[in-house]
Amino acid sequence: MGESVTSRRGRVLAVSVTEAGRRITARLPYVAIHGDLAATVRARWSEVDGFVLCCATGIAVRVVAPLLGDKGTDPAVVSVDDAGAFTVSLCGGHAGGANHLAREVAGLLGSTPVVTTATDVAGVPPLDALPGFVATGDVAAVARAWLDGRPPLVERTLDWPVPFAGGEGPTRVLVTDRAVDAAAGLVALRPPSLVVGVGASSDAAPDAAAALLDAAMGRAGLSGDAIGTVATIDRRAGDAAVTALGRPVRAFPAEVLAAVEVPNPSTIVAAEVGTASVAEAAALLAAGPGAELVVAKQKGATATVAVARRARPEGSVAVVGLGPGHPRHRTAAATAAIRAADVVIGYDRYVDQCADLLGSATTVVRSPIGAEIDRCAEALARGAAGDRVALVCSGDPGVFAMATLVCELAPGHGAPPVEVVPGVTAASAAAALLGAPLAHDHALVSLSDHLTPWEAIERRLRAVTEADLAVALYNPRSSRRTWQLETARSILLEARPATTPVGIVTEATRAGEQTVLTTLGDLDPSTVGMLSVVVVGSSTTTVVDGRIVTPRGYLT
């Protein structure tokens, strides 16, 4: 729901016809095909999520025109000129994810994205692509009127925040989890307000819960588009009757369910599984404080279902690692977490690093460096209040970054669900540029004595030499911390020869990237800055054809 097609199926083909085009596709993280563009697109049209076609827009239009069907199922099509200057979102802008794909490709190539979808251009929210919502009905009429300066009237059967203000109509957006008759100029906008609780016996058929649920939702006048979560007892979480409902599953142990007060407890169930209710208790629990049971327990031969309505959105905090710099080293999970976020919080530089992923409905909170506690506290408070928050960090969020603070502070903020999304850390990026200096046992040590006493850092450096580990030194030097690297070098030199290979990588994968190969004896601290990482070899590290290598022992 609300995800782009590219992230749903995740297959993008980059097709080139010229040598210049081939060089462009080689810079993209997609399956690259060189050769007959028209035949390739025809053959793969229904299998993939998106195409990046390296050719003139006119050629791309002629090739895809006969294949176009429904914008809900067609793949995204993006064309890129042979010089890689412009990436054009050709069709499938919203539903197909082509606008996202065009911006992603532009980020990777450093080209200009060309997005002509009227709502994107005018800053009108894309109703059919609002993260977390499902829009049905006369989206085209509402969007047209909105673009003409007449925002829809927002009506609601549900008190649920939406990321736009609305206006006077005459078109309408109805925020609801109910089934609604279609009408001209009306869009039903459904948030994930409903939680389905499922109980099942071990022999329940895959469709046992689905059939019960459909009938019950129909009688209650509720829409399946509003189902955000399925909840059950832990031992049933992987059962087909539960997973067949096609939504994320929350599972609880019997003793946790047993503590929930429900209208229809069963002594038989209590005797069998240790809780008097599974479906009702799981639904109410997963739906959070203030939830209301809107469908009481429905009992079939092998399954039970119940439906609860959340009182407010479930917020969350994702601590997202953006990687070292360039978008090609950002993971797909990081991209998805940022796109799904209502709020993106981070230090200026990191917010800029993911600017290509921010939508018109994303709230951006730029926080100054040094305000780490405030930054994490704000992320957690917003998460607890119902926002989906992405707190962005460079590299990996668990390496000298914000993941620890978020985990430490979360309980004091009502403990919203916290997810840590890993990233490529500076040491990995630097090592890759240098060769393979960290290929055997190694350590990461930060030389920042801002939060750690220098004596502790010295002790760790001596332990590194004692253990003969290669080491990546983070935060090696800044305008204020000028002597630490020199001291660290002397400590390492006590036990390692002056010829030990050293690599200094500054701004890895960013504009201004610089790699210096030197030795412990020749290391000149003035060539190192706060955006450098310094990699020092162990006793076995050598330089092979300009690359630093710490052998794993295959050749000895």
Binding site for ligand SAH (CB under 6 A): 324-325, 393-396, 399-401, 425-426, 430, 474-476, 505-510, 530-533
Give the integer Cα–Cα distance in Å for 133 and 359: 15
In the complex, minimum distance from the CB of residue 531 to ligand SAH, in angstroms, rounded to a whole number: 5
In the complex, minimum distance from the CB of residue 418 to ligand SAH, in angstroms, rounded to a whole number: 17
In the complex, minimum distance from the CB of residue 356 to ligand SAH, in angstroms, rounded to a whole number: 17
Exposed / middle / buried, residue 325 (Cβ in 10 Å: 0-12, 13-18, 19+): buried
- Per DSSP, helices labelled H in 259-331 are 267-273, 279-286
Name the residue nearer to ligand SAH (CB basis): 16 or 394.
394
In the complex, minimum distance from the CB of residue 485 to ligand SAH, in angstroms, rounded to a whole number: 11
Name the residue nearer to ligand SAH (CB basis): 224 or 395.
395
In the complex, minimum distance from the CB of residue 250 to ligand SAH, in angstroms, rounded to a whole number: 30
Contact 200, 239 (CB under 8 A): yes
In the complex, minimum distance from the CB of residue 524 to ligand SAH, in angstroms, rounded to a whole number: 17
Instruction: State which residue has the least CB distance to ligand SAH.
Output: 395
Name the residue nearer to ligand SAH (CB basis): 89 or 353.
353
Name the residue nearer to ligand SAH (CB basis): 171 or 484.
484
Structure token digits, residue 226: 């509003």
Name the residue nearer to ligand SAH (CB basis): 13 or 376.
376
Name the residue nearer to ligand SAH (CB basis): 165 or 451.
451
Name the residue nearer to ligand SAH (CB basis): 31 or 355.
355
Name the residue nearer to ligand SAH (CB basis): 362 or 425.
425
Give the integer Cα–Cα distance in Å for 264 and 432: 60
Name the residue nearer to ligand SAH (CB basis): 80 or 393.
393
In the complex, minimum distance from the CB of residue 447 to ligand SAH, in angstroms, rounded to a whole number: 9
Name the residue nearer to ligand SAH (CB basis): 329 or 388.
329
Name the residue nearer to ligand SAH (CB basis): 324 or 383.
324
In the complex, minimum distance from the CB of residue 513 to ligand SAH, in angstroms, rounded to a whole number: 8
DSSP for 415-447?
---EEEE----HHHHHHHHHEETTSSSEEEEE-
Give the integer Cα–Cα distance in Å for 90 and 176: 33
3-state DSSP of 213-277: HHHHHHHHCECHHHEEEEEEEHHHCCCHHHHCCCCCEEEECHHHHHCCCCCCCCHHHHHHHCCCC
Give the integer Cα–Cα distance in Å for 18 and 34: 8
Distant-in-sequence, close-in-space partners of 302: CB < 8 Å, separation ≥ 6 = 200, 201, 203, 204, 205, 208, 241
Contact 77, 91 (CB under 8 A): yes
In three-state secondary structure terms, 341 is: coil
In the complex, minimum distance from the CB of residue 473 to ligand SAH, in angstroms, rounded to a whole number: 7
In the complex, minimum distance from the CB of residue 515 to ligand SAH, in angstroms, rounded to a whole number: 10
In three-state secondary structure terms, 50 is: strand
Distant-in-sequence, close-in-space partners of 50: CB < 8 Å, separation ≥ 6 = 5, 6, 11, 12, 13, 75, 76, 77, 78, 92, 96, 97, 98, 101
In three-state secondary structure terms, 393 is: strand
Contact 513, 430 (CB under 8 A): no
Contact 437, 517 (CB under 8 A): no
Contact 457, 478 (CB under 8 A): no
In three-state secondary structure terms, 514 is: strand
In the complex, minimum distance from the CB of residue 328 to ligand SAH, in angstroms, rounded to a whole number: 13
**Using omega within 30 degrees of 0 as the cis cutoff, is the peptide bond preceding 411 cis?**
no
Helix and strand numbers, DSSP H then E, in the chain: 19, 28
Name the residue nearer to ligand SAH (CB basis): 30 or 400.
400
* Residue type present at position 469: L
In the complex, minimum distance from the CB of residue 506 to ligand SAH, in angstroms, rounded to a whole number: 6
